[in-house]
Amino acid sequence: MKTRILLVLFVCITLALPIFAQQADSNSGAQPAASSSQPAAQTASGKPPLEYKPRNFWDGDQPGGFWLIFHAFASKGYVQRNVQMIQDRVNELDQLTASNSQKIKDVDSSAQHGIQLASAKVDEADQHTLDAANKAQLAQSTANAASSRASKVETVVGGLDQYKAANRTVIRFRPGQSVLSKQAKDALDQMAAQLKDQHGYVIEVQGFASGSGQAGIASSRKMADSVERYLVLNHEIPSYRIYVMALGNAPVTSEEGSKPASRNRVEVSLLKNGLDQMTASADQPK
């Protein structure tokens, strides 16, 4: 008798436990339903969070005595339906993550391309700046050289009309004669040899004679003319470079300057200006 009573109590407790579990699930599902009226928060995918929708633990099966004993756990379909929502949301997050990664790569590639273009532009600007600096330096050097050359030319041109005595030769004659001696010719040859291919010079020929008046002037003119004739015919010196002056018995000072010089003589003076210097500067390589 006691054994039957214990068996009945065990069966009743076994049947009552699933019913209490179903009521507990129904009460816990009521709270989310009450809060569903509040606005749902947005997730990373732009969709509202997943809502838990309680379903019958036996997935629509009637809780008969048989099912209470042999169907005490959730069915496979029940688990798949609840897991599928989570899996869908995970798939959406994976797609969103992949899209964001691709956008990040595109932005990074665009930024790298922009940096390379900017670097190329900077290098090109630096090269242009260097070329401009080199050209400016070359122009400055050319300007300095031109200024220096202009200064030299200005100095030379300023001295064109300023003839300076470079050499003087004295040719002596016998009284009443105008023929050049061998010694006189040698002295003239030595002077003319220095004038080959030269520019910017003139030759001043001054004749002196012992006679007075017109006779002395005529005699000094003959001696000076003989010197000019020798230079023109024997050394091809242009006649426009020779200036002849017949001074007659004008006072003459000797080379020493202490006593009067002898008459019957011709003083040949070589005068130069700065034209030969300017010609030499122009012939120098630039």
Question: Which pLDDT belongs to residue 66?
Answer: 53
Q: Please check the confidence at residue 176 and state whether its pLDDT lies above 80.
A: yes
Residues of the chain with CATH 3.30.1330.60: 163-283
Q: Would you tell me how many other CB atoms lie within 10 Å of the CB of residue 109? A: 10
HEC profile for the chain? CHHHHHHHHHHHHHHHHHHHHHHHHHHHHHHHHHHCCCCCCCCCCCCCCCCCCCCCCCCCCCCCHHHHHHCCCCCHHHHHHHHHHHHHHHHHHHHHHHHHHHHHHHHHHHHHHHHHHHHHHHHHHHHHHHHHHHHHHHHHHHHHHHHHHHHHHHHHHHCCCCCEEEEEEEEECCCCCCCCCHHHHHHHHHHHHCCCCCCCEEEEEEEECCCCHHHHHHHHHHHHHHHHHHHHHHHCCCHHHEEEEECCCCCCECCCCCCECCCCEEEEEEEECCHHHHHHHHHCCC
Q: Please indicate whether residue 167 or residue 69 has the higher confidence score (pLDDT).
A: 167
Q: Please check the confidence at residue 135 and state whether its pLDDT lies above 60.
A: yes
Question: Which pLDDT belongs to residue 144?
Answer: 82
Question: Which pLDDT belongs to residue 3?
Answer: 77
4-18 pLDDT per residue, tens: 777 767 766 766 655
Q: Please check the confidence at residue 278 and state whether its pLDDT lies above 60.
A: no
End-to-end CA separation in angstroms for the chain: 142
User: What value does the mean pLDDT take over residues 49-70?
Assistant: 54
CA–CA separation, 213 and 121 (whole Å): 94
Q: Please indicate whether residue 55 or residue 92 has the higher confidence score (pLDDT).
A: 92
Which whole-number Å values give the CA distances from 170 to 32, 180, 202, 223, 252, in the listed order? 141, 12, 16, 12, 12
Question: Which pLDDT belongs to residue 258?
Answer: 44
Q: Please check the confidence at residue 248 and state whether its pLDDT lies above 70.
A: yes
Of 204, 215, 212, nearest to 249 by C-alpha is 212
Question: Which pLDDT belongs to residue 30?
Answer: 45
Question: Which pLDDT belongs to residue 90?
Answer: 83
CA–CA separation, 83 and 71 (whole Å): 20
Q: Would you tell me how many other CB atoms lie within 10 Å of the CB of residue 272? A: 20
63-109 pLDDT per residue, tens: 555 555 555 555 666 667 767 778 777 888 888 889 888 989 899 88
pLDDT above 90: percentage of residues in the chain: 24
Question: Which pLDDT belongs to residue 269?
Answer: 92
25-38 pLDDT per residue, tens: 555 544 444 444 55
- Superfamily of domain 163-283, CATH level 4: OmpA-like domain (3.30.1330.60)
Q: Please check the confidence at residue 56 and state whether its pLDDT lies above 70.
A: no
Q: Please check the confidence at residue 279 and state whether its pLDDT lies above 80.
A: no
Average pLDDT along the chain: 75
Question: Which pLDDT belongs to residue 50?
Answer: 59
178-201 pLDDT per residue, tens: 899 999 999 999 999 988 888 888
Question: Which pLDDT belongs to residue 14?
Answer: 66
